[in-house]
Amino acid sequence: MKIFLDTADIEEIRIVARWGVLDGVTTNPTLFAKTSGATYEEVLKEICTITSGPVSAEVVAEEVEGMLKEGRAFAKIAPNIVVKVPMSEEGLEAMSRFAEEGIKTNCTLIFTANQGLLAAKAGASLLSPFVGRLDDINQDGMIVIRELAEIVAIHELDTEVLAASIRNPLHMTQAALAGAHVATLPFKVLQQMVHHPLTDKGIVQFRSDWDKARKALAASNGKASAGAAKAPAAAKSGS
């Protein structure tokens, strides 16, 4: 399963890229609003210099022509830009037009397998069901992931299921087992995936044991050196 970082924070993206586990990035206006000092286009351009994987840039227009105008502008920023379009009647038309122009799209705000199927038929490159938001209203978001993954496999659709609105490490495990091709998650959740109390405790213990072993070895070598220094003197006095 590919791992995308759901953020517009450049430093977070650089950190995960150094870990060697970054396959792409998803952004949206809400995430961009948390950054400062640059335009959305400038942020997208910098992200695309960090990763060669897909970078989702979301349109905010609600009408087809507005979506097309924004999406075409995003697509010119870098070849790995994917235009993020909401699931709606206008969104379906826009995604179909983008597909005809060779522009990849990520259909966002999917909450049913039927919505995902329609987006795939319209030519969306990525289908983004929001599992966390479904959980918020007491529905199992992973059911949508599982159903969509099966539909894509059965009908050999040229698209990928992207698990979005990931809230915790358990969501990641569930998404992988449900057959998601991609999952996008916040930096905080990715950090939580790295750590475990027993792992962290083990690292501290190993370091402590290593330090003790080095000190013991140093003390042993020190005694051996002292003994060797006394030996010649004793031999001389005996003669």
Give the dihedral sign, CA 14/15/17/21: negative
CA angle 145, 51, 6 (to 5 degrees): 40
201 catalytically annotated: no
3-state DSSP assignment of residue 220: helix
Nearest to 127 by CA among 147, 151, 109, 140: 109
* Catalytic option among 2, 76, 84, 104: 84
Give the chain's end-to-end CA distance (angstroms, integer): 79
Q: Which residue has the tokens 């037009």?
A: 97
> At 41, which helix (H) or strand (E)?
helix 40-50
**Active site (catalytic) residues:** 84
